[in-house]
């Protein structure tokens, strides 16, 4: 019953927000086109519910690069003043406005408002058996890991919080995460990842 009601709530709220925020979406899209060359939307394959792939939507915040130019296994951790991030992109990331297009993902059913963040295909192989439970729920725009430390958390800590959410999922927990998410966004803390704690390091360690 929880899953059915949550899906109905997701559909209604995402549809309403897309209508209300349409002027904001249009303005951001125009600013992105004026700020740098490339598409307005960043589209990427992510791993979601049951470990299945889907296409996530975001406002583009980085310089335009072709897919074959990006090797996720060798990409450095994104930091403040990163040359890959556009001037407008830095603001969009800090304010989380870059996530707004994911309302479309929520409306279509590939994502939900609250749940573990969807991961890259390359990250899937760095999710040990004991943490596979994270895939039992739909990926979210925000989740427990995001309000417990955001990108400052180590990869394993993120997986632990993801599984904790899967175990404890409830409307009460969802409301808590929503409220905390607002506070986290306004604090603008932990926007960028920490060196030495990202999934690429764990990939090398766990392969040994």
- pLDDT for position 50: 97
- pLDDT for position 191: 59
β-pair type (112-114, 140-142): parallel
CA atoms within 13 A of residue 33's CA, in its CB half-sphere: 7
Give burial (CB, 10 Å; 0-12/13-18/19+) of 87. Answer: exposed
SS3 109: coil
Distances (CA, A) of 70 to 9, 28, 63, 73: 36, 25, 12, 9
pTM of this prediction?
Answer: 0.88
- pLDDT for position 185: 85
What is the full per-residue pLDDT of the chain (208 aa) written as tens digits? 999 999 999 999 999 999 999 999 999 999 999 999 999 999 999 999 999 999 999 999 998 876 656 656 566 666 656 778 999 999 999 899 999 999 999 999 999 999 999 999 999 989 999 999 999 999 999 999 999 987 788 899 999 999 999 999 999 999 999 999 999 888 766 555 555 577 777 766 665 5
- pLDDT for position 79: 61
Enumerate the domain spans of the chain.
2-207
């Amino acid at each position: 019953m929880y899953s059915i009601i949550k899906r109905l709530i997701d559909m209604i709220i995402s549809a309403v927000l897309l209508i209300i925020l349409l002027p904001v979406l249009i303005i951001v899209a125009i600013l992105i086109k004026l700020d740098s060359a490339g598409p307005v939307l960043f589209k990427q394959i992510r791993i979601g519910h049951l470990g299945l792939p889907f296409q996530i939507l975001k406002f583009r915040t980085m310089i335009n690069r072709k897919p074959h130019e990006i090797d996720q296994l060798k990409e450095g951790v994104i930091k403040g003043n990163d040359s890959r991030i556009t001037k407008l992109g830095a603001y969009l990331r800090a304010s989380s406005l870059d996530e707004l297009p994911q309302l479309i993902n929520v409306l279509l059913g590939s994502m939900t408002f609250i749940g573990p963040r969807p991961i890259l295909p390359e990250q899937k192989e760095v999710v040990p058996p004991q943490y596979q439970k994270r895939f039992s729920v739909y990926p979210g725009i925000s989740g427990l890991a995001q309000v417990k430390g955001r990108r400052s958390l180590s990869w394993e800590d993120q997986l632990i919080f993801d599984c904790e959410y899967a175990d404890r999922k409830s409307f009460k927990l969802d409301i808590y995460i929503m409220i905390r998410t607002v506070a986290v966004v306004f604090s603008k803390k932990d926007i960028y990842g920490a060196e030495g704690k990202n999934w690429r390091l764990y990939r090398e360690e766990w392969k040994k």
